[in-house]
């Protein structure tokens, strides 16, 4: 094995074309944060404050919401932006406190895996969800259903 | 450099423009600019609320995914959110989200607003004030919904 030793005082060779992921992560936290304030405050108002609050939430309520493109897009944005924001924040905390490289690696891989899995699951649920499943008791279904 | 300009530089500063600051001895040890002050506590609270919201988010995506399974499964799980204990938990969750959101906006202002760092302490108290107003609006409504019957 041979090692290349640079001539003294030669210019530092850094890969210039590499993307600075930490910089983009930093920017992402702020950009997504602003959008999330609007999305989450809207989400909380509609689900917890308006009407009878949390007691209104059941399959009929969610089915009625998720059958509209407006709430589909709202919830998709919420899912992606919030979970990536949260996972990246947890990664920051893991990197701060997990001093053992093996533990750090395990925790970060677990964060990545859970984020990818839940984003896929959530997106699949939003777009393959049937608000009027056949054979379900009519009183549990949203009012838009024909089989109600 | 001419002798005249060098003399001007060396001349003592006028007392009116730069009066000697009067510093009284602190009654208690004050620590540092950061430790134990608004800056540190906003950081601590941002972390704690962030971790709490993250773990709720994991559970919340899973429980909402039950709509794909069956109306009965979703209703059975979501009914647990309507109990008094979970209702109080929701109040805590909203309190955590409210602080994290407002302090997050403060962090953005510190980073991007030219005088953000100068006003960071004031902005912390503004965030706490706005949070208190939001919670004063939300809490009675939430308690009404949980304990109001029906």
Tell me the nearest-neighbour CA distance from A21 into chain B, angstroms: 18
CATH code for the domain of B45: 1.20.1300.10
Residue B122 has what pLDDT? 94
What would the pLDDT profile of B116-145 be if each residue is shown by its tens digit?
899 999 999 999 999 999 999 999 988 888
Q: Does some domain include residue B42?
A: yes
Residue B29 has what pLDDT? 66
Residue B73 has pLDDT above 70, yes or no: yes
Does the CA dihedral B112-B115-B120-B123 come out positive or negative?
A: negative
Q: Are A48 and B82 in contact (CB under 8 A)?
A: no
User: Is the pLDDT higher at B149 or at A116?
Assistant: A116
Q: What is the tally of structural domains in chain B? A: 1
Nearest CA in chain A to B73: A59
Residue A123 has what pLDDT? 95
Is the Cβ pair A53, B142 closer than 8 Å? yes
Residue A16 has what pLDDT? 64
Q: Does some domain include residue B8?
A: no
What would the pLDDT profile of B30-50 be if each residue is shown by its tens digit?
667 777 788 999 999 999 999
For range A94-110, the mean pLDDT: 95
For range A97-117, the mean pLDDT: 96
Q: Does some domain include residue B13?
A: no
Q: Does some domain include residue B143?
A: yes
R_g (Cα) of chain B, nearest Å: 26
Residue B88 is part of which domain span? 34-147
Q: Does some domain include residue B23?
A: no
Residue B1 has pLDDT above 70, yes or no: no
Residue B9 has what pLDDT? 56
Nearest CA in chain A to B148: A52
Q: How confident is residue A15, by pLDDT bands cut at 50, 70 and 90?
A: low
Q: Does some domain include residue B12?
A: no
Residue A14 has what pLDDT? 65
What domains does chain A contain, in order, with CATH numbers?
A: 22-140 (1.20.1300.10)
State the DSSP string of A74-108: HHHHHHHHHHHHHHHHHHHHHHHH--SHHHHHHHH
Chain A residues close to B71, C-beta within 8 Å: 58-60, 63, 133, 136-137, 140-141
Q: Does some domain include residue B108?
A: yes
Residue B15 has what pLDDT? 64
Q: Are A63 and A132 in contact (CB under 8 A)?
A: yes
For range A79-88, the mean pLDDT: 97
For range A17-22, the mean pLDDT: 84
Which of A33, A49, A118 has the CB atom closest to B138's CB atom? A49
Residue B148 DSSP symbol: S
For range A92-106, the mean pLDDT: 95
User: Is the pLDDT higher at A51 or at B130?
Assistant: B130
- What are B's interface residues with A at a Cβ cutoff of 8 A? 47, 50-51, 53-54, 57-58, 61-62, 64-65, 67-68, 70-72, 74-75, 78, 81-82, 87, 90, 94, 97, 101, 104-105, 107-108, 111-112, 138, 141-142, 144-146, 150
Q: Does some domain include residue B26?
A: no
């Amino acid at each position: 094995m041979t090692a290349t030793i640079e001539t003294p005082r030669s210019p530092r060779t850094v890969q210039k074309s590499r993307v600075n992921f930490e910089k983009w992560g930093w920017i992402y936290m702020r950009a997504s944060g602003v959008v999330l304030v609007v999305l989450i405050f809207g989400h909380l108002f509609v689900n917890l404050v308006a009407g009878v609050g949390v007691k209104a939430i059941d399959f009929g309520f969610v089915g009625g919401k998720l059958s509209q493109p407006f709430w589909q897009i709202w919830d998709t944005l919420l899912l992606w932006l919030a979970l990536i924001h949260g996972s990246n924040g947890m990664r920051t905390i893991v990197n701060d406190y997990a001093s053992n490289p093996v533990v750090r690696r395990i925790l970060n891989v677990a964060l990545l895996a859970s984020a990818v899995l839940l984003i896929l699951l959530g997106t699949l649920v939003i777009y393959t969800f049937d608000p009027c499943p056949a054979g379900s008791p009519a009183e549990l279904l949203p009012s838009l259903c024909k089989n109600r | 450099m001419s002798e005249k300009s060098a003399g001007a530089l060396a001349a003592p500063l006028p007392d009116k423009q730069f009066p000697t600051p009067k510093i009284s001895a602190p009654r208690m040890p004050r620590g540092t600019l950061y430790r134990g002050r608004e800056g540190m506590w906003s950081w601590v609270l941002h972390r704690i609320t962030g971790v709490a919201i993250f773990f709720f988010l994991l559970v919340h995506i899973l429980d909402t995914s039950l709509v794909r399974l069956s109306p009965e499964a979703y209703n059975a799980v979501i009914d647990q959110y309507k109990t008094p204990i979970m209702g109080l938990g929701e109040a805590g969750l909203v309190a955590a989200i409210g602080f994290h959101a407002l302090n997050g906006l403060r962090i953005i202002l510190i980073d991007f607003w030219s005088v953000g760092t100068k006003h960071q302490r004031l902005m912390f108290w503004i965030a706490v004030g706005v949070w208190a107003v939001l919670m004063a609006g939300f809490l009675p409504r939430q308690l009404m919904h949980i304990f109001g019957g029906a």
